[in-house]
Amino acid sequence: MSGPWRQPCCCSGEYMPFIQSLAEVDPGEWDQLRGCDNPFLSHAFLYGLEKTGCTTARSGWAPQHWVQYHRDGRLQAAMPCYLKGHSYGEYVFDWAWAQAWAEHGLNYYPKLLTAVPFTPSAGPRLLMAADADGPALGATACADILARAATTGASSWHLLFPDSATIAAVEDHPALMTRLNCQFHWHNRQYGDFEDFLATLTARKRKQIRKERRQVAQQEITLTTLSGTAITPEALEAFFVFYQATYSKHGQAPYLNLAFFQHLHQNLPQHLSLVMASHAGQYCAAALFLHDEQTLYGRYWGCLEEFDHLHFEACYYQGIDLCIARGLKSFDAGAQGEHKLRRGFEPRLFRSYHWVAHPGFRHAVADFCQRESQGIEAYAQQAEAGLPFRQGVGNTDAGLTL
């Protein structure tokens, strides 16, 4: 096939592969490039963040999305990208890097970031047409973004939580450094119900989980799952109050606003499930999940009053019930959390890629990434040894999965 065509910029004819808003891209064309139904890479999700003010220059997330058009005018490839003024909402932490730059009188910000904002879940990052040449587009995207870093004064570029197709397209770039990240995911081994899952655990762990679920019920808490259009505006507003409380307990403002969640409900209801907990006839906590055809994503939680084990019930056990009921293959419950391990969530390794402009820091960061990755691999192996499954049951996908 003929090579991709770089769409020129207005009257100058100069190639401009970056746009400052997804409003400049046809939603249908963008979504056709995903190659899956991952909700986080949808135009509705990413543009919703922009439209509701969550990812703007003012919030430190100035959109710099990379796009490329085919000769016939069709969108050929795209990559979400942001010019960041901080490191909040990323979940691959580089605060120490920023401090090192500052100690040497240098500016770490702005930096360029390719990721789904506030979402530590692996998925497509280089979106491509089905007939596209992945490595060629990956090389072009990398070259364009590094050139953009020079024009914007960005210190670095960070590609977080890419899927295997994106990895294959960019991993051979000589300037990119690799970091590893460990998360804990639950896998559905064709369980018929929650008890079927519990049967795979050791007797001690089965007893512990049953006790936790029983104690939630003994506190006279009831849980109701609302999905799609069954989510009421009242339930969504109550959820947002709880979501805000999670941040206020740590003295922080929430990343997302009510307008964004209302936008999700209006535009992506088929991907949403909301678990509402009630006590004494009043909502007391909530957990919001998204899902695609294969994976459940546990994303947002909050409560106003603490109840024993309610967090585990609403965020993990209800999520496992959802996975089994929907026949989903896995449950991605978000970043961090060794407490997930004893509840049947298994360690998985994920890659991120990083480029640093400063030649002196480039060597130091490469050395750090190598040493850190060795530690992360050892940590994942140690975590796997602590899984609560009976002998012969457990992680059949050991090693680096992405």
**255 & 217 share domain:** yes
CATH number, domain containing residue 199: 3.40.630.30
Distances (CA, A) of 202 to 125, 190, 316: 39, 19, 18
Share above pLDDT 90 across residues of the chain, in percent, rounded to a whole number? 88
Is position 253 within any domain? yes
pLDDT at 131: 87
Is position 121 within any domain? yes
- Provide the pairing of β-strand 75-79 with 65-69: antiparallel
**26 & 175 share domain:** yes
- pTM, whole model, 2 decimals? 0.94
Residue 5 pLDDT greater than 50, yes or no? no
DSSP character at residue 8: B
The candidate with the shortest Cα–Cα distance to 277, out of 355, 222, 336, 195, is: 222
Query: Among 5-14, 133-142, 226-235, whose mean pLDDT is lowest?
Result: 5-14
Rounded CA separation 356/112 (Å): 10
**291 & 371 share domain:** no
Residue 6's pLDDT band (boundaries 50, 70, 90)? very low
Rounded CA separation 323/321 (Å): 5
Is position 5 within any domain? no
pLDDT at 338: 82
Of the CA atoms within 13 Å of residue 312, those in its CB half-sphere come to 22
Residue 250's pLDDT band (boundaries 50, 70, 90)? confident
pLDDT at 283: 97
Token pair in block for residue 323: 């996975």
**37 & 155 share domain:** yes
Overall average pLDDT of the 88-101 stretch: 97
336 φ, ψ (degrees, to nearest 5): 60, -170
Residue 391's pLDDT band (boundaries 50, 70, 90)? confident
Are residues 376 and 182 in contact, defined by beta-carbon separation less than 8 angstroms?
Answer: yes
Residue 399 pLDDT greater than 80, yes or no? no
pLDDT at 162: 97
Burial of 359 (0-12, 13-18, 19+ CB in 10 A): exposed
**Parent domain of 87:** 18-181+349-385
Is position 271 within any domain? yes
pLDDT at 7: 54
**369 & 309 share domain:** no
399 φ, ψ (degrees, to nearest 5): 100, -170
Distances (CA, A) of 369 to 148, 217, 336, 357, 362: 24, 46, 19, 16, 11
Residue 12's pLDDT band (boundaries 50, 70, 90)? very low
Is position 226 within any domain? yes
**168 & 22 share domain:** yes
Overall average pLDDT of the 94-111 stretch: 97
**38 & 66 share domain:** yes
| Number of domains comprising the chain | 2
User: 377's torsion region: left (phi>0), alpha (psi -120 to 50) or beta?
Assistant: alpha
Count of Cβ atoms closer than 10 Å to residue 139 Cβ: 15
**98 & 162 share domain:** yes
146-180 tens-digit pLDDT: 999 999 999 999 999 999 999 999 999 999 999 99
Is position 230 within any domain? yes
Q: What is the mean pLDDT of the chain?
A: 93
pLDDT at 179: 98
Are residues 194 and 321 in contact, defined by beta-carbon separation less than 8 angstroms?
Answer: yes
**283 & 139 share domain:** no
pLDDT at 70: 87
Is position 32 within any domain? yes
Which residues lie closer than 8 Å to 72 by C-beta, 6 or more apart?
Answer: none
pLDDT at 335: 85
Count of Cβ atoms closer than 10 Å to residue 401 Cβ: 14
Residue 236's pLDDT band (boundaries 50, 70, 90)? very high
**255 & 223 share domain:** yes
pLDDT at 64: 97
Is position 396 within any domain? no
Distances (CA, A) of 193 to 21, 164, 179: 44, 31, 37
**257 & 124 share domain:** no
Overall average pLDDT of the 116-123 stretch: 97
**97 & 216 share domain:** no
CATH number, domain containing residue 121: 3.40.630
